[in-house]
Chain A
Amino acid sequence: MEKAPVFFITGGVRSGKSTFAEKTAHELARAHTGTLLYYLACGRGQDEEMQQRIELHQQSRQNSVVPWQSGEFPRDIDNSIPFYNKQTIVLLDCLTTWLDNELFSIDSELSKRRLQNVFDKMMGSIETIRKHCFSLIVVSNEVLLEPLSSSEIVRAYQKTIGRLHQELVARSHQAYLVESGIPLMMKGSK
């Protein structure tokens, strides 16, 4: 089955990456008549501030010309497949939260094997979703520009997110780094 192209978008906290991801989705929808938009949220509104951030993003999508469908999948995100089809542009927000949920929702030691399994599972889910949608936009965070943590758990997270980013960039059609609202195209052409 043909796989949907991947658009990888990353940036620092409050860099405007989610806004740019939504814009990218809208541009794709405008360019391809008949496409639909699906927002795949990996975050859970665990505290009030997180809930407010989610609502802010929800509002911005409600005001959009093309309507969005959305769903929350903290883990096992390929369970979202029944909710869209080959005409859907899927926006996954975001990879860092998803990895967080996959790694830390089960209380199990972070062995090399476990990390490899999580990595394989996540890349597997992405590839499965690509077979069932029109385009896949993946949002993530820049979190590797400081010294490695002294905590082994955090280092395991850092290593895995780095591997996922490398793999996604390698498979992506376009990759962007968003700096203060300005998207820098790192891979692909407009």
Chain B
Amino acid sequence: MHFVTGGAYNGKRKWVRSLHEHTQWLSAYYDYPLPLRSNDFLEKKIVLEGIEMWIKNDVESSDGSNIRANWKTYIQTWHDWEQEQGDRRIIIIGTDISKGIVPMNKLDRTWRDVTGWVYQDLTVLSNRVDIIWYGLNQQLK
């Protein structure tokens, strides 16, 4: 599993495209629903783009208490699917939304918190983690 993060409009998509070919893109930015199971995966390389937006949906539709645990399950499911065959790869793109002023709105604060926790859980299971800074990558793991 490869986790790619960095600020908005920093060229994450372009960088992933240049690194991974023949991918199936499932993007939250184009309203693709969160793939809870691996049934949606048609290619060997799957890109899940904009996961912070799927997390936001979860935050808006529940009280926020189980979201991190639920996401641990999703991540594990994706990881297991990848491990079943050697040539499978899951690439996850998540925008870093953690460094602004604390939001006024409670939902936005919860969203920011949960997103940070999910990113931490993601990096544990990922064998590679990159942060993209204006098109340049810094490999953290």
State the A residues within 8 Å of B (CB).
Answer: 12, 142, 144-148, 158-159, 161-163, 165-166, 168-170, 175, 177, 186-187
Contact = CB atoms under 8 A, between A and B. Distances in A.
Contact of B98 (A142, A145, A161): A145
Interface in B73-103: 96-101, 103
Nearest to B9: A162
Contact of A166 (B11, B99, B138): B11
B19 to A, nearest CB: 16
Contacts, number: 59
B9 A144 contact: yes
B135 interface: yes
Nearest to B101: A146
Nearest to B14: A166
Given A145-B99, A146-B100, A159 B7 contact: no
A88 B86 CA distance: 56
A13 to B, nearest CB: 11
Contacts of A165: 10, 134
B136 to A, nearest CB: 6
Given A169-B136, A187-B136, 19 more contacts: A12-B99, A142-B99, A144-B10, A145-B7, A145-B8, A145-B97, A145-B99, A146-B97, A146-B100, A147-B52, A147-B97, A162-B134, A163-B9, A165-B10, A169-B133, A169-B134, A170-B134, A170-B135, A186-B138
A46 to B, nearest CB: 22
28 contacts: A144-B9, A145-B7, A145-B8, A145-B96, A145-B97, A145-B98, A145-B99, A146-B97, A146-B99, A146-B100, A147-B52, A147-B108, A147-B112, A158-B8, A159-B9, A162-B10, A162-B134, A163-B9, A165-B134, A166-B9, A166-B10, A166-B135, A168-B134, A169-B133, A175-B134, A186-B133, A186-B138, A187-B136
Contacts of B99: 12, 142, 145-146
A170 B15 CA distance: 13
A26 to B, nearest CB: 25
Interface in B1-49: 7-11
Contact of A161 (B9, B101, B108, B111): B9
Nearest to B103: A147
A175 B7 contact: no
